[in-house]
Amino acid sequence: MSERQLIPSALAGSPLTGGEQVAYEGVAMMPSVKVIKIGGQSVMDRGRAALFPLLEEIGRIKDQHRLLLTTGGGTRARHVYSVASDLELPTGLLAALGGYVPRQNARMLQMLLAEQGGIFMMTDDFEKLPLYFRLGCIPIMTGMPPFGYWEKPSEEGRIPANRTDAGTFLTAEALGAKRVWFAKDEEGLFDDDPKKNAAAKQLPRIGAKELLSRGLKDLIIERSVLEYLTRARYVREIQVFNALVPGNLTRALAGEDIGTIIYRD
């Protein structure tokens, strides 16, 4: 048997199964990009009444920022997950199926923002972002990460752990951005579901670890995002705000701490 033909390098011969000690000084790719997720159930499913004022606001501020919009799924994604769970299909299949709806929503946003430079992109077009920004475009893509059939089985149930919140967060992390924005229909995070409990209290600022340790039954953001935030290299905070209130997007992007800030603690 021949010996292995190895290329000499700092990792030559390493089994790469974890625990490698390597020197590393990270370079942020495009830290100035502001990644904003437009909620599916919370914004898109409200149709014209919610979306048109928000798009108008985006049009007004688009030249002050480099905006990358991502989209959530909403009720059609819930319908897909519900049918797939009834059929007892694996999580990876739900993740692949769950990708179709946010992609539709991204296309809808693109049609409405076309005049303002809205451009639809697939995750495979990620490396074209510098071009889009140089042209003054507003790139719009699904919030769903491209894991699809390769999504891990969930701890419990079948719903994929990485959906459009996680994908949006990971997009910002890949770009090296410090903050990432989630446009929803509530004033951020509450200690209970404000749609079901009128006495629920809003939390203006909370650490990701602290939030996870509270073990809340429900959250406004995917749990995986909180876990990623605790060990992210670049993203330091996420902001969840009510995009149904005119001016909120402008204020949030200007750095005002409206809604809820979840930070790396």
Partner 1 sequence: MNKLLTGDGRTHIESSLMRESLQDRDVIKRTHSANEYEILPDCVLVGVGGHSIFDRGRSALLPLVEELAKARAAKHKMVLGVGGGTRVRHTLAIALDLGLPTGGIAQLVGAMEECNAVFLNALLAKHGSIVMQREHFWELPLYLNSGMLPIVISIPPYHFWEPPPEDGPLPAHGSDFGLFIHAEVLGMKRVIFVKDEDGLYDRDPKKHADAKLIERTTLGALLADMPRELILDRQLFDCWRTARHVKEVQIVNGCKPGMLLAALEGEPVGTVITKEAADV
- Identity of the residue, 62 or 93, whose beta carbon is nearer to partner 1 in the bound complex: 93
Q: Least distance in Å: CB of 81 to partner 1? A: 6
Q: Which of 178, 214, 240 is nearest to 37 (CA)?
A: 240
Q: What are the tokens at 122?
A: 């697939």
Other Cβ atoms less than 10 A from the Cβ of 255: the count is: 8
Q: What are the tokens at 100?
A: 């179709």
- Identity of the residue, 173 or 187, whose beta carbon is nearer to partner 1 in the bound complex: 173
Q: Least distance in Å: CB of 145 to partner 1? A: 4
Q: Least distance in Å: CB of 35 to partner 1? A: 12
- Identity of the residue, 110 or 224, whose beta carbon is nearer to partner 1 in the bound complex: 224
Q: Least distance in Å: CB of 89 to partner 1? A: 5
Query: What distance in Å separates the CA atoms of residue 77 and residue 105, rounded to the nearest whole number?
Result: 11
- Identity of the residue, 88 or 115, whose beta carbon is nearer to partner 1 in the bound complex: 88
Q: 211 vs 35, 85, 256, CA distance in Å?
A: 22, 28, 21
Q: Least distance in Å: CB of 88 to partner 1? A: 5
User: Are residues 69 and 38 in contact, defined by beta-carbon separation less than 8 angstroms?
Assistant: yes
SS (H, E, C) 45-80: HHCHHHHHHHHHHHHHHHHHCEEEEEECCCHHHHHH
Q: Least distance in Å: CB of 62 to partner 1? A: 23
Q: Is the dihedral of CA 76, 160, 167, 196 positive or negative?
A: positive
Three-state DSSP class for residue 83: helix
